[in-house]
Amino acid sequence: MTARDLDVVAALEPELFGAGAWSRSTYEDQIERTDRVYLVAELDGEVAGYAGVALEPEWDIMTVGVAPQARRRGVATALVEALVDAARSAGGRELFLEVRAHDGGAQQLYRNAGFAPVGLRRRYYQPEGADAVVMRLALDPTDAGPVGPVGAEAVDDGSVEGDGSAVGPFVDVATAYAWVWSEHAPVVLDVRWALGRTDGREQYAQGHLPGAVFVDLDTELAGPASPEAGRHPLPDLDVLQAAARRWGVRGDSRVLVYDDAGGTSAARAWWLLRWAGVRDVVLLDGGLRAWVEAGHHLEDGHVRPRPGDVTLTSGAMPTVAADDIAVLPERGGVLLDARAAERFRGEVEPVDPRPGHIPGATSAPTLANLTAGGWLLEAEELRERFAALGVDVPAAGAPEPGSRPVAVYCGSGVTASHTVAVLASLGVTAALYPGSFSQWSSDPTRPVATGL
C-alpha cells in the first residue's frame, strides 16, 4: 500500500467497517511502520481491496477489506494468502485474527486458509459490543498445538479419559460448548427438519452453532422414497459415505449433531452414523434452544469444511425387517410405535396410505421422552416410562440389559431413532425398523390395527 492508495482506502473503510473504521491518518501511520505489512489488490487498474498484518510481537491480521464491486472475485482470498506469506517470510510461527462471531462468511474465508477457532472475546467490537471469534493458523508446520492468545476465553476441551470408547448418546450444552472451542473441535452437524417443512437450510443460514454444517435429511440421510421401501429408507452406504466426507468427517472425528426439535430429527444422523461404524457421535440435549438460552453466539451463512476421509461400514446398529416385526410381539418382544398417539390409534394419518399401527405394537410417542422445553427427561423418569411400556430397563449402574428384545418404528424411521438413542442411554439396545409404518402401510398384505 502506498500513500496514493489512501484516498480510496479511506473512502472504503467506513463503508465496510462502520463505527470501527480507521481514519486516513491512522493508515498513514500504519503503513510507515516496519512491523506492519499493508497491501492493496487491484482489478482493472482500480483498488479492489486492502489488507494489513502486524508482525512481531503481535502476529495478527489487522484488517481485510474488499470493495463491494469486487466481491466474489477471489480478492479476499488472495489478500489473506499474501498476508500469511508475509508473516511466514518474516519468521512468524503462528498468526491470529479476530472476526465477528456471527459473520459466517468471514469465518469461512479464514477456515479455507487453514485458520481454526481457538477462543472467544466477549464484547470485543465497540461500540456495538459484538463478540469476536479468535482464530489461529500455525505458520510452522511442526507446531501442531493451537494455544489461544492472551485475552481469549479459555475452555476445557471436555475430553474423556479411559479406554477410548465412544461417549453419548446425549451431551449437555456446557460440554458441547467446551468441545466446540477445544483444540480438537468436533464435526458439528445441523439437522433441521420437520414433516411438511422444507426451510431447514434457510433457518440454518440465519444462525447455527459455530462451524456447523447443514445436513439435508431427505437427500443425505435417506435413500429415494418408494412404497416398497418407505418414505426415508436407509441410503446406500457409498452415498452416505460421500455425504459424511462432505461434512468433514474423518476416521477419528467426534461428531456432534443437533436440531431445533429436541433432537428428534438430529437423532437420524446419530443413528445412521453409528450404524455405519462411526463410534463417537453425540446428540446435543436441548439442541439449538439450549445453545441460545445458555447465551452462546450463533454463526450465520454456510460452512463448507475441508473434506473428510471416513470409511463407513454398515451394520453396527441393529435393524429389523417387516417380516420379523410381524412376529416380534407374539414371541415376547416389545414393539414400540414412536409416532403421536392419535396416529397410533388411527384417528389421523397425514401422510401414510392407511391409518393405525402395526398389530401388537405399544404406543410410545417420541415427544414423551422430552420436557415441554425440548430437553430430555431425567434418567429415572425415562426408566420408569419405558418399564411401564414393557421394556426390561436395567437399574441405574446395572451392567446387563434386560432379556426382552425391543424394536422401534415411527412413520419413516426418523423420530424412532430418538427413542433408540434414549434407550441406549438407559442401557437398552433396541433395533430400528427402517421402513417403519410408511413401508408397512403401503403393503396391502400387511394387517393394520386401530385404537389402543
| pLDDT tens-digit series, residues 91-101 | 999 999 999 88
Cell of 387: 418399564
Q: Tens of pLDDT along 132-187?
A: 999 999 998 665 544 433 334 433 333 333 333 446 799 999 999 999 888 788 99
**105-109, 163-167, 360-364 — most confident range:** 360-364
Q: What percent of the chain has pLDDT over 70?
A: 92
Q: Tens of pLDDT along 263-299?
A: 999 999 999 999 999 999 999 999 999 999 998 989 9
In the chain, the domains with their CATH numbers are: 3-138 (3.40.630.30), 170-293 (3.40.250.10), 322-440 (3.40.250.10)
Work out the average pLDDT over 422-446: 96
The answer to whether the predicted template modeling score (pTM) of the entire model surpasses 0.75 is: yes
If one compares 200 and 347, the residue with the highest pLDDT of the two is: 347
Residue 433 has pLDDT above 80, yes or no: yes
Band of residue 225 on the pLDDT scale cut at 50, 70, 90: very high
Residue 131 has pLDDT above 60, yes or no: yes
pLDDT at res. 416: 98
Q: Which of 6, 7, 38, 413 is nearest to 229 (CA)?
A: 413
Band of residue 123 on the pLDDT scale cut at 50, 70, 90: confident
pLDDT at res. 398: 63
Band of residue 129 on the pLDDT scale cut at 50, 70, 90: confident
The region that residue 346 occupies, defined by phi over 0 for left and psi between -120 and 50 for alpha, beta otherwise, is left
Q: Tens of pLDDT along 302-345?
A: 888 889 999 999 999 999 999 999 999 999 999 999 999 999 99
pLDDT at res. 446: 97
Q: Tens of pLDDT along 375-404?
A: 999 999 999 999 999 999 998 766 566 679
Is residue 98 a contact partner of residue 134, using CB atoms and an 8 Å limit?
A: yes
Residue 39 has pLDDT above 60, yes or no: yes
Euclidean distance between CA atoms 41 and 135, whole angstroms = 23
Cell of 113: 486458509
DSSP 420-436: HHHHHHTT---EE-SSH
**Average pLDDT, rounded, for the chain:** 89
Euclidean distance between CA atoms 439 and 434, whole angstroms = 9
Q: Tens of pLDDT along 139-150?
A: 986 655 444 333
pLDDT at res. 7: 84
Cell of 244: 459424511
List, by residue number, the catalytic residues: 410
DSSP 277-300: T---EEEETTHHHHHHHTT---B-
